[in-house]
Amino acid sequence: MYDPSMRVLTVLELLQARESVTGAELARALEVSPRTVQRYIARLQDLGIPVEGRRGVGGAYTLKPGFRLPPLMFTGEEALSLALGLRALHLLGLDALAPAAHAASAKLARTLPHALRQTVQALESAVQLDASPWVVSTDAALLSALLGAVNAAQTVEFLYTSPKSPAQTRRVDVYRALHLDGRWYAVGRCHLRDALRSFRLDRMTGLQVLDEIFTAPPDFNALAYLRSILPAPAPALQNSGPQISVWLAAPPEELRGRVSVWFTQISAEAGGTRLRGRRENLAHFAPFLLGLDCDFRVDSPPELLAAFARLGVRCAAVGVPGGGGPKNGGTAREKTGG
């Protein structure tokens, strides 16, 4: 039926699956004699597995309470998926889990046979994972507590801060948590508004899981809801408007959450950020650039420079010092918010 090593592993699997197993039951399952079963039990004990029980013909065997041996055998695809998944945690903004991910990766490597370990390491070294600069870091402990509340259908309470309103205490029946466009969201019924709302986890503090229980709507699609309420430009505008090219004197990570990535190409360049895309309304885009509060250079189009010139004339008309707007190849800085 099996080779001896597989039979020993089968004994371990049966012991983990059942509270107790008699010697006769193991003998029938393995198609061996009761005396051979005793040898397999002794082999497990020699390996440090805490098997307890009598070794006689009619003895019953059990694992020490609380002992569980995780599965240690993976196929090549399973091992690679685990290794890449651990490396990709930072793509979800869960940088706080990096130490745990490194420890788990080391444990995984120790469990793999030498040949498979070398294969997985070679495949890992051939892959580069680049996190978007717009991924927002999220408190892993907060996410864990929130997911526990979702699973138990328990109401949560937290302090929520947003640019549009001061900090408020919110009590919410969270139906789902999800990651979309670099941010984690919680979606559910807000008690304050008595309506469906979404909340960014990076704006939550002081999360508490309450004893209140709720019933979530069946088959609730949080992703569809979130996509329906998040602002997005009309598809028709994707290729409309003049092509812009602006260099910003700030690295991409400093602009995170301040520059829209919709139909916009963002890349690091010369210690700063190159922004490319199309904008239909340059009169609105010019003050937006000023509101970023960093030096920048407009390389194209000329129409954007003209928009800055008009803005400078307006500033001079109301007595703002330094009006006149930037010139091509120059820089601009403004202290007001965008």
Q: What pLDDT is recorded for position 192?
A: 94
Contact of 142 with 185, CB cutoff 8 Å: no
Q: How many CB atoms lie within 10 A of CB 134?
A: 19
What is the DSSP code (8-state) at residue 319?
A: T
In one-letter notation, the amino acid at residue 100 is A
Q: Are 296 and 246 in contact (CB under 8 A)?
A: yes
Locate tokens 């139906």: which residue? 175
Among 213, 220, 217, smallest CA distance to 155 is for 213
CB 278 within 8 A of CB 263: yes
Cβ neighbour number for residue 121 with a 10 Å cutoff: 13
For the chain, residues with pLDDT lower than 50 are 1, 233-238, 323-338
Q: Is 60 exposed, middle or buried (0-12, 13-18, 19+ CB in 10 A)?
A: middle
- Look at the alpha carbons of 308, 309, 310, 316 in this order and tell me if their dihedral is positive or negative: positive
DSSP string, 270-315: TTEEEEEEE-S-HHHHHHHHHHT-S-EEEEE-HHHHHHHHHHHHHH
Alpha carbons 162 and 164: distance in angstroms, whole number: 5
* pTM for this predicted structure: 0.53
- With contact defined as beta carbons under 8 Å apart, do 127 and 119 qualify? no
Q: What are the residues whose beta carbons fall under 8 Å from the beta carbon of 149, sequence distance 6 or more?
A: 155, 156, 174, 209
Q: Tell me which residue of 63, 60, 8, 62 sits closest to 32, measured CA to CA.
A: 8
